[in-house]
Amino acid sequence: MEKKMTPYTTKTGLKIGEFYEKKRHHEMNFDMELIQSAFLDDSSMYRSQLISKIKYALVLIGTVLLLALVTKN
């Protein structure tokens, strides 16, 4: 069965779907989520990311200092 593309012309000459456009598919990425959260004023996402970065930095610094103390002997 052949599928007719738009616009479909009826027997009377009426064109159905002449101005039809397919919906564009937008994939969400991190930048789009940041922009949306800024528009929605969702500061909790930024706060949680900042806290996780600070935790990571503290663990990294602690590990380096611990290794420095252990290998000092």
Q: What is the domain range of residue 68? A: 28-73
Q: Is residue 63 part of a domain?
A: yes
Listed residue (8, 7, 10) closest to 18, CA to CA = 7
Query: Residue 4 has what pLDDT?
Result: 58
Query: Residue 54 has what pLDDT?
Result: 97
Q: Is residue 71 part of a domain?
A: yes
Query: Residue 2 has what pLDDT?
Result: 55
Could you give the number of structural domains in the chain? 1
Query: Residue 51 has what pLDDT?
Result: 94
Q: Is residue 14 part of a domain?
A: no
pLDDT tens track for 15-34: 888 888 888 877 888 888 88
The end-to-end CA distance of the chain, in Å, is 82
Q: Is residue 8 part of a domain?
A: no
Counting as low any pLDDT under 50, the low residues of the chain are 1
Q: Is residue 17 part of a domain?
A: no
Q: Is residue 39 part of a domain?
A: yes
